[in-house]
Structures are given as structure tokens and as C-alpha cells.
Structure 1
Amino acid sequence: MAAVTTSASAVIPIDDLTFWEVCERRARLTPDRLMIVDERDRRITFGEFRDRAERVAAGLHQLGIGPGSRVTWQLPTRIETLLVCLALARLGAHQNPVIPAVRGREVGFALRQTGAEWVVLPGTWNGFDYVEMVSELDWSDAPRPRIVVVGVDDLPDGDPATLPAPPTDPREARWTFYTSGTTSEPKGVLHSDESLMWGGRGYAERMRLDADTVFAMQFAIAHIGGPNLFCFMFSVGIRTLSVERFDPSSLAELFRRHRVNLCGGSVAFGELLLREQRRRGAGRLLPDLRQLGGGAGPTPPAMFDQITAELGVTYIPAYGMTEVPMIAVGYPDDDVELRRGTDGAPVRGIEIRAARLDGTVADPGEEGELQIRGPQVCKGYRDPAQSAQAFVDGWLRTGDLGMVRPDGRIKLTGRIKDIIIRKGENISAREVEDLLGTHPLVARVAVVGLPDDERGERVCAVVERVPGQPDLDFAEMQRHLLAAGLGRYKLPEQLELTDELPTQGSMLKISKAAVRRELLARAGAGT
């Protein structure tokens, strides 16, 4: 039976177990070990967490939630949220986490598609009333879910003796996560405890997490990365700093106080920490931080270099998606060029191939659509038509373009739908972004295709300004790209400047859909 070992020689088997079973085993093994500390300096051990989660489960059960109940929750990153999540796992409820940034239309879609009977909300948080939002949705065509409000130190409570037996099948699809894409509505991705746990284990093994790891949870726990973290905590016994709001200035103080040595999330988080480092000047912003994990999209080489040099950390690329929580992770001891030039190597259990447009398997080093299979892969989508379209002979089509190198490492090159076709020539938006992103007057960049009567599509570069620096002009952009080796036929015909590019989701990925919509709206308005 596969297991993860800690520096304290604790062994927690995680195959064929549910989240609740792994939680119980960790609580029995190291009940007094600190599990979580938050920005309020509240602390909870593994034993206390298990006991409290059982009481919360009993309180929810008294309200009518039990095995198979359909529950959506939209809560900030708090200890209470982790307790609610594990309490629902203890009950065997079907849960649908939704990140707090999502609003009415998308929340309503998730509630209807999952058939939610219950929705757990924080009341008013960060100036927004979630109860009012759900209450004002149109329920004329669907049953209105019952609302449970939880807050800081305010959770349902009951006697664990009243609980039904916990679930025992880790392969049952009891989770729905929504992902935004190019479709008009978000896609509901189905996961089991097993698929989520395999994702977490792959990351933990590759990053060599142990009982001395202090991990920062500064992202939305409702993100697909949340269950990854549960796996780290329970299987390895790591300590976690829970952060409710991401503010680089206050976060730096928290990191130093609690000696955080590993932080994950996305390149956007790394960029925000980099800005804070520059604002403060000399001296390391985060002296205990050894590793910074990437994810939520490729890392531009220029940003990799800046994060590595200025933050003084080992930046580890990672590749995952809502459908497959962890696909590839870099090796911490890889040399800089390998970590800079690839997106990691497949974690345990993952098989990956690149497929040509005709469906045949590409050769090593040849670009194609990346396709995945393995125990981490989701069970499909709530919409059967989306499942039928996404899977080919058991392989999940990712929609990502990339290659599998001869050494097995992955290199992402773009998205199938992120290819701009100008005068019949395919242009990779990612290639242009990577090269333009090395210019000192470019903070971030998004390259999109816009309709063009003559060319079919034209290439537009939208550049986020560097604060306090002059604007990049069109001639300088072209000069830089040509000097960097970009083919002349790939040069952008249009340059737009902005103070801040729009982002989506808790990982702060640039939203190219929003960039393109804004440009088309401005063109339609004649501005």
C-alpha cells in the first residue's frame, strides 16, 4: 500500500481511503501536533480538528444534512471553512465549493445544475452580502436551497453519537468544482476523494514535503487546490498558515512570524510578492521561504528570472487544472534552466501524451494537444455531452498545446483556442507573450486575436504598465520582438496599454476572455 512518510517517521497510507479516514488516522497518530494557525493567531491541532469537525457534522446532521445531501458552500479561507468541508466529507454529502469572488449568475447556475438542497454562506464578508445574493436569485424554475450561515467561531454543533456511519467508498463522485472556460456557462467537474487525494499526494511527494514544512494557504480554499492541501496536512502532517485575505504587505509579516517555508498558488501570487519586495527595497522580504510553487498557467521566463533572483527562492513549476488537480511538478533539485524552460514532470500515476490534429500520437519533442489519464483525472462533467467531448478512449483532452520532451518533462506552448490565425498562418499567443514579457516596460501582457476583414485575425498585444515608468510605444515593441527572434509575420499589429489587466478566479489568472470582450466593445463603440 502506497504511503507518504514524514521526517518524524509517521506513515499514513492514503490508497483506498476517504478524506475522513485519512483525517482520523492523522488525528490518532499525532493528535497534539499543530495543524493550522491563522492571522488571528487561532490554533488547532490535528486531534482538536478531528473532534471539532465531528461536532460540526453532527450539527449539520441535526439540520437535515446527511449522506448524499447536495450542499454548495461559498466561504472565505478560514479554519471554519476547513471544518465545514471535512464535516460534509464525514457525512458523505455531495459538496460543491464555490470561490467567494463568484457572483449571482454563476452561483445560480451552480446551485441549479447540482440541484443544491443547502447552501452554506458567510453572511456578509468583505463588504458583500452573500445571503442577499442567493435570496435575490430567480427560483421560479428550481427549488430554493436552504441557507446556513457560518462565521468566525460560529458553527453548527451537535453530539457525534448521533452521526450516521461515515462513507467508505473513495471512488464515489461526491465533489463538483466549476471551471470557467471558453464555453458560455461554467463546467461542473466531478471528483471523488480518490482523484483529489492522488493529486495532493503527487505534489507532496515531488516537493518532498515533511513534518517540518510550514505551508501558506493564501488562496481560496474552495479552489481545486484546497483538497490538495487537505492531503498534505493529513498524510504528511504539515503545519499550515491560513490567510483569509491576500494582502502582500500584511502577508509578508505573517510569513515571517510563522516561518513559512513553502508557498504555492500561481505566478500571479509570486508577482505580487515581487512587487512588495521591490517596494521595501534591500533585504529579503521572506527570509524563511525556500520554495515558491507555480501553477494556474505557465510562468513567463522573464517572471521566473525576476522571482528567483529578487525573492531569493527556488521557483518550482507546476501544471494542473480543475479536471486534474496535479499533472506535473518540477523537481526541486533540477538546475535553473530545466525549471525555467519546462512545466515539470508527470507526478505519480499520471500518463501524458501529445496528440497531433489528426489524433495520432506525437513524437517526443513534437507539439500537440496534451492528453492525460490516471487516477487524478476527474470522473467527467455534470453535463454528459461535455464528458463525451472531453474524453477520447479514456484520455482527457486538456485543450493545452505542448510537448512531452525526450526526458519526460512537459513544455506548455499555448492553448488550442489561443492560436491566432492570420492570413492562414498559425501564431502562438504564448510565444509572443513570453518574448514581449521580457521588456522592462512590460509588467504583464496578454496577446489576443481580433477579427480583421483583411487578415482574418490580427494580433493585439495588451500591455500592463510598469508603475512609475514611461509607456511602451509601438515601434519599441516591434524592435524588441524582432531582436528577440520573433518572426516578422507574428508581430502584433495593435498595441494597447492598461494600468491593470483583468483577472479571473482565486489564482488571479489573466482573463483573456475579458481582455478580448473589452477590446471588441470599444471597437463597436468606435473608441
Structure 2
Amino acid sequence: MTDTAHTLSTSRTLWDLLDRRAALTPGRPVLLQDDRVLTFGGLRDRAERVAAGLYGRGVRPGTVVAWQLPTRIETAVLSFALARLGAVQSPVIPFYRDRETGFALRESKAAFFAVPGVWRGFDHTEMARRLGARGIFEVYGPGSLPDGDPAVLPPPPAEGTSVRWIYWTSGTTSAPKGVLHTDRSLIAGGSCLGHALRPAPDDVGSLAFPYAHIGGPDYTVMLLLYGFPAVMLEHFALPGALAEYRRHGVTVAGGSTAFYSMFLAEQRRRPGERIVPTLRLLAGGGAPKPPELYHAVVREMGVQLTHGYGMTEVPMITMGAPDDTAENLATTEGRPPDGMEIRIVDGEVRLRGEAVCQGYLDPAQTADAFDADGFLRTGDLGRLTAGGHLVLTGRLKDVIIRKGENISAKEIEDLLAAHPAVGDAAVIGLPDAERGERVCAVVEQPPGTEALTLGAVTSYLRAAGLAVHKLPEQLELVDALPRGDTLRKVLKYKLRERYSGTVK
């Protein structure tokens, strides 16, 4: 971490961080979208005027404001305006509909709700009215944010340890939870990301995932610490997004494993051509990364890939560094920063540190989530190497118990990922009267490949050295695995629901 970034990482609040960065490099760009450029100084000044406009509408320190907005410059401005006021923000993923959005509004008791009007063919304003949301206002583009005189504002918040953020778990299980964060926990998460990636001022990043995801502030904090810009994309799809990446000279891209796979697939359609000539690094987290995917990206795209480990409850836990060894980058999630304690208890990864959330809206969920020493139970299984790198070996819920033997779904998935006829795979345990659970592999194949058979899959896994008792007993081929709308994680609970009644 540079001296400047280290100094800025001690900022008391997110507003303090923005104010200090704007004083250092007011004219440097921070957010790029289409033909628009917003500088650090412009972000601070515009956010303060919007804060005054919100104050005039009745938003005060501690007021709960929910917002369900796409990845736009206006979304970042609104968020920093609320940070200037010391309001409590409840970001809602814009792909969520009545069930998830209504749950978030009810549980957070939001007094105001910002929506994008009609976005991608869906009327968010109508949904907000249908749900009985209070204080609805639309944020749809330039000029849509309230404006006022900053002279009316009270002083900005003096401390960053109060809960001012309610994030919602991403939905890989069927019931979301409201996760409580502070400004300081978000700054700590972004500091971990920046410390590992060490971006330079002439880098250009990309925000290609929902800004309402926990990764939004994580990435934005890194921009503020290191003083470089990022391209904002409302919707990420390839090859459509490539024009914006090339236009702005993006050097750092990514998001999650699904993003890497999409870039790699597009590169394979154009052998011998760099799809983004300026790109030097893919980086992300949020979902497991098969080692073979790392090697394929480096080999075929000619860029480095660094992967990290984070969750809604802890925005950044570990991160791979570009100068780490290929072995560590392929097989581990990187190392934790100073201040992040990792403890392995009965195979489970547990965490304590400033980036860890304060708990959940539901006190009972908070009590269940932390152990007696204050460590967060992640539900992830892993181990630490002698060099301090974290290796994730699966989820507690992804341990398949077949005839009393524990089987890691991730081990099988990593082996399947190297098969040329496998685009992606999810391995689940299904109820079985004889075995307790049986191993089921659900496979998404690349277009044009011959359909796999169970026999071909088990023969391949045997040749790869997988123990016989771990071999799948059921194979399901799907056009597309069910995924969440944020970082495109596979929703295994939907697969269990779909196939639990099948007998093979």
C-alpha cells in the first residue's frame, strides 16, 4: 500500500475519505460512463449539493433510505450524499422483485426509497407503490437528483463505527438476511482489495456488477485510496461491453468467476487477437475459482488473474496479489491483510477484524453467527498454508455424506472444470434411502459439444485420480445453471429443489 493510500485508509468515515481524496486530486477522473466523466472533486461537490436537496426533503442523520438503482454515476453520487448526511443506507439489487424488495423495505423500515423508474423494461416505481414504500423518488439520469445549498447542512458524521449500511445477502440460500455494516468496515474491506492489487494512478478499472452489491463500496473505496478511475456499466454482457472497455482503455477488469469465464469464452472466439488490448489484470471474488480457469486465462488471454474471498458479511477477507506465485494464484484465495484474523475451527473458516459486519438485523441471527470469542462463523471450509494463504475446500452445506464418508463437492467441481466438454458444473448431494446422500453432478456444456454420459464423466474422474466413493452416481445436463443476478453465483438450493425427487 502506498503512503498516500495508507494515510487515506485511516479516514474516519466514507465522507471523510472522499473529502480527503478530493483535496489531493480534485481534477482527476473517478467515474467514467459513456461520454461522461466525473472527477474526485466533482463527486464531492455534487454529492454535497444532493445531500442538501435530500435534507430539504426531510432526510436526517440516522434516517433509513433504501435505494434500488443500477450502476450509474447518479447512484454513486446519491450514496455519497447519504454518507455526507450520516443516513442509514439500504442498497437493494436492481434485479430483485416484489418478494426480495418487499422484504428489504419491511425489515429495514425505510423512510425513503429511490428507484430508477422504468429500467430494462421493468417499472420499479409501480412496484414500489404496490409494496407500499414510503418516500418514493426516481433517480434515472443527469438532473434527476435533488439539489440544494450545502450551507443548510449539519456537520458531516464525526465517526464511522455506527451502523449506517444494511446490505442483503445475495440469495444463494432462499432467505435473505439484513447485514449491518459501518463506514469503517467498508473502508477496511476496500483497503484489503487495494493493498493486494496495488493499482497505479494510470490504471483504469471497471464496475461491471451492481453498485448495490457489497462490492460497490469495496471497489469505490479502492478508487479513493489509490486515485484512479473506473468505467461504470449498467449491464455486463459480452461482446457488447468490449466497446466501452476498449474506448476507455480498461486495464483492470473482472467481478467473479463467471466474469472470467465470459472473458475467456470471448477470447476463444477471437484467437490471436487481444479482445481488450490494454487489459493487464482480471480480478474478483465472490465464488469459487477452479485452478484450471486461472491457467487458461493466463495462457490464452495473456493477462494475470487474481482471485479473492469475500462475502456480504465481510466485503474482503483475502486477495491474491499479482506478483504471487502461479501455484498460489491458481489454488488459493490469497492472503488476509493486517487486521484480519482467520481461525480454522473443525475445518470451518472463522473471522474477526474491522471489515467484519456488526451482525444482522435479526438479533437471533447475530447470536448464531458469532462464536464465544467474537469470530464470525462463515460456513466455509478451508485451511491455511504455511505461507498464510487461504485454501477454501467447500461449504459446510456442500459436504456430501455418502455412507458415512464426507465428500467435498468443490473437489469434484474443480476436476470437472478441466474437462473440455464442461462449461461449468455444480455438484450436489441428494437424499438417498440407501446411501444417505448420493453425488449428483449438474453440468452446463459449451455450445456444439457432444452430450456427456455418466459413464464418460466417471471414467474421466477416475483417470484424474478421484477416489471411487466420490464418483457421481447421477448426471444432469442443463442449458444453463441457475445463477444469482449479482456475481452470477450458482444457486445450488434450486438444483437440490429440482432434482431431490429424481431417482437414477
The TM-score, its normalising length taken from structure 2, stands at 0.97
The one of 245, 249, 254 aligned to 2:235: 245
Q: Structure 1 counterpart of 2:236, which letter? A: F
The one of 97, 113, 127 aligned to 1:133: 127
- Structural mapping, 1:373-522, within 5 Å: 373-392=352-371, 393-520=373-500
Native 8 Å contact 2:174 2:493 kept in 1: no
Q: Could you tell me which residue of structure 2 aligns to residue 119 of structure 1?
A: 113
Q: Could you tell me which residue of structure 2 aligns to residue 359 of structure 1?
A: none
The one of 76, 95, 103 aligned to 2:97: 103
Q: Could you tell me which residue of structure 2 aligns to residue 201 of structure 1?
A: 191
State how far apart, in whole Å, the 1-side matches of 2:270 and 2:471 are: 37
State how far apart, in whole Å, the 1-side matches of 2:221 and 2:254 are: 14
Q: Could you tell me which residue of structure 2 aligns to residue 146 of structure 1?
A: 135
Q: Could you tell me which residue of structure 1 aligns to residue 16 of structure 2?
A: 21
SS of structure 1 residue aligned to 2:175: coil
- 1:406-454 Cα shifts (integer Å, max 9, x gaps): 1111000000011111111111111111111111100000001111111
The one of 46, 49, 56 aligned to 2:50: 56
SS of structure 1 residue aligned to 2:140: coil
Please, which moves more after superposition, 319-328 or 176-185? 176-185
Q: Could you tell me which residue of structure 1 aligns to residue 84 of structure 2?
A: 90
User: CA 1:398–1:220 in 2, change beyond 3 Å: closer, same or farther?
Assistant: same
Please, which moves more after superposition, 416-425 or 296-305? 296-305
* Pairing 1:270–2:260 present: yes
TM-superposed deviation, 1:210: 2.5
Native 8 Å contact 1:4 1:235 kept in 2: no
SS of structure 1 residue aligned to 2:277: coil
Q: Structure 2 counterpart of 1:32, which letter? A: G
Percent of aligned pairs with the same residue? 50
User: CA 1:433–1:183 in 2, change beyond 3 Å: closer, same or farther?
Assistant: closer
Native 8 Å contact 1:36 1:43 kept in 2: yes
* Gaps in structure 1 of 5+ consecutive residues: 357-367
State how far apart, in whole Å, the 1-side matches of 2:225 and 2:173 are: 36
TM-superposed deviation, 1:308: 1.7
TM-superposed deviation, 1:498: 0.8
Q: Structure 1 counterpart of 2:422, which letter? A: V
Q: Could you tell me which residue of structure 2 aligns to residue 229 of structure 1?
A: 219
The one of 275, 296, 301 aligned to 1:306: 296
* Gaps in structure 2 of 5+ consecutive residues: none
Q: Could you tell me which residue of structure 2 aligns to residue 76 of structure 1?
A: 70
Q: Could you tell me which residue of structure 1 aligns to residue 182 of structure 2?
A: 192
The one of 163, 166, 169 aligned to 2:159: 169
* Pairing 1:297–2:287 present: yes
State how far apart, in whole Å, the 2-side matches of 1:51 and 1:294 are: 30
TM-superposed deviation, 1:148: 0.9
State how far apart, in whole Å, the 2-side matches of 1:455 and 1:205 are: 47
Q: Structure 1 counterpart of 2:472, which letter? A: P
- 1:48-88 Cα shifts (integer Å, max 9, x gaps): 11111111111111111111111110000000000010000
State how far apart, in whole Å, the 2-side matches of 1:173 and 1:264 are: 29
State how far apart, in whole Å, the 1-side matches of 2:83 and 2:397 are: 36
TM-superposed deviation, 1:35: 1.4
Q: Structure 1 counterpart of 2:135, which letter? A: R
* Pairing 1:331–2:344 present: no
State how far apart, in whole Å, the 2-side matches of 1:13 and 1:219 are: 25
Native 8 Å contact 1:315 1:339 kept in 2: yes
SS of structure 2 residue aligned to 1:263: strand
- Structural mapping, 1:312-323, within 5 Å: 312-323=302-313
State how far apart, in whole Å, the 1-side matches of 2:6 and 2:169 are: 34
Native 8 Å contact 2:171 2:484 kept in 1: no
Q: Could you tell me which residue of structure 2 aligns to residue 218 of structure 1?
A: 208
Q: Structure 2 counterpart of 1:417, which letter? A: K
State how far apart, in whole Å, the 2-side matches of 1:4 and 1:375 are: 20
Q: Structure 2 counterpart of 1:288, which letter? A: T
State how far apart, in whole Å, the 2-side matches of 1:212 and 1:377 are: 31
User: CA 1:252–1:182 in 2, change beyond 3 Å: closer, same or farther?
Assistant: closer
Q: Could you tell me which residue of structure 2 aligns to residue 32 of structure 1?
A: 27
SS of structure 2 residue aligned to 1:248: coil
TM-superposed deviation, 1:264: 3.3
Q: Could you tell me which residue of structure 2 aligns to residue 363 of structure 1?
A: none
TM-superposed deviation, 1:351: 0.9
TM-superposed deviation, 1:16: 4.6
Native 8 Å contact 1:72 1:95 kept in 2: yes
Q: Structure 2 counterpart of 1:438, which letter? A: A
Q: Structure 2 counterpart of 1:369, which letter? A: E
State how far apart, in whole Å, the 2-side matches of 1:61 and 1:219 are: 29
State how far apart, in whole Å, the 1-side matches of 2:222 and 2:50 are: 22
State how far apart, in whole Å, the 1-side matches of 2:115 and 2:293 are: 37
State how far apart, in whole Å, the 1-side matches of 2:203 and 2:257 are: 21
Native 8 Å contact 2:172 2:489 kept in 1: no
Please, which moves more after superposition, 294-303 or 192-201? 294-303
SS of structure 2 residue aligned to 1:451: strand
The one of 14, 32, 46 aligned to 2:40: 46
Q: Structure 2 counterpart of 1:33, which letter? A: R
Q: Could you tell me which residue of structure 1 aligns to residue 275 of structure 2?
A: 285
